[in-house]
Amino acid sequence: MELLESKNLPEAIGPYSQAIRANGFIYTSAQIPLTADGKLVERDIKKQTRQVLENLKILLEDSQSAMDKVIKVNVHLENMDDFGVVNVLFAEAFGDHKPARTTVAAKELPMNSLVVMDAVALPIDFR
């Protein structure tokens, strides 16, 4: 098992790793809508979703993976009424690649976020 960290994202806000590589798979911790300098994006579902997806992309790339290597994504929304907006932005971020996904509503998310996502991915060199 290898602990992974991106220098291009804020440090983890708790006692956990940003990501872990185990048996070739990359498991990311939940990404919240923080900018590189650690500031929370304003409470707008489009802006927060774009930031979360960008953070996920950066973490995967810095872990020698990519969005098109993602197997599974877990999405947590504060409000399921935002599902349609998140779905459109999710589709844009993943393009033709369609990973398995679970989307659930959560009463409270870290740092009062509207959306958080984590993923499981294969390494970039996996065929």
- Kindly report, residue by residue over 28-87, the tens digit of the pLDDT: 999 999 999 999 999 999 999 999 999 999 999 999 999 999 999 999 999 999 999 999
Q: What is residue 125's predicted lDDT score, i.e. its pLDDT?
A: 87
CATH class of 2-121: alpha beta
CB atoms near residue 93 (< 10 Å):
19
pLDDT score of 117 more than 90: yes
Q: How far apart are CA 50 and CA 124, in angstroms?
A: 22
How does residue 123 score in pLDDT terms, banded at 50, 70 and 90?
very high
State mean pLDDT over 22-29.
97
Buried-state track 19-58, b at ≥16 Cβ within 10 A, e below 16: bbbeeebbbbbbbbbbeeeeeebeeebeebbbbbbbbbbb
Q: How far apart are CA 92 and CA 72, in angstroms?
A: 16
Q: What is residue 25's predicted lDDT score, i.e. its pLDDT?
A: 97
Q: Average pLDDT of the chain?
A: 96
| Coil, strand or helix at 1 | coil
Domains of the chain, residue spans: 2-121
Q: What is residue 17's predicted lDDT score, i.e. its pLDDT?
A: 96
pTM for this prediction: 0.96
Enumerate helices (H) and strands (E) in the chain, giving the number of each: 2, 6
How does residue 122 score in pLDDT terms, banded at 50, 70 and 90?
very high
